[in-house]
Amino acid sequence: MESERGNRTTRNAAALAAAIAELGVQCSLEARGGLALLLPVQESVAALQSPDTRRAVLALARTHGFTHVAIELPNDRRGEGRGTDAPLLGD
């Protein structure tokens, strides 16, 4: 049975971003422990309003070892001082 906890040894942010792109959602992805933080390009935001797309993204995230997925909309601060795999405190 698949665990909801995800698996840190198999987390792969780049692979998840590529898989999500195949759904038509172009985004960069910031991994923070078990949280996959999606930063979609403006043109892809509308796609995430579809429940089917959201379900598909969540399923992909689980298969890539993430327990949570959140979306941060594009803004001017994008890219300021962010690592690609910043851990959560205590993670």
Task: Give residues with Cβ within 8 angstroms of 20, minimum separation 6.
Answer: 27, 29, 38, 57, 60
Reading the block at residue 17, the tokens are: 């971003």
Query: What residues between 52 and 71 interact with another protein by CB under 8 A?
Result: 54, 57-58, 67-71
Question: Pairing relation of β-strands 27-32 and 35-40?
Answer: antiparallel
Judged by CB under 8 A, how many residues of this single chain contact another protein? 29
Q: Work out which of 9, 49, 52, 83 binds another protein, going by CB under 8 A.
A: 49
Structure tokens at 49: 């309003």
Please, which residue, 15 or 54, has the CB nearer to another protein?
A: 54
Contact between 18 and another protein (CB under 8 A)?
no
DSSP tally for the chain: helices H, then strands E: 2, 3
Q: Which of 12, 15, 24, 35 binds another protein (CB under 8 A)?
A: 35
Residues that bind another protein (CB under 8 A): 3-5, 32-35, 37-38, 45, 48-49, 51, 54, 57-58, 67-73, 75, 77, 88-91
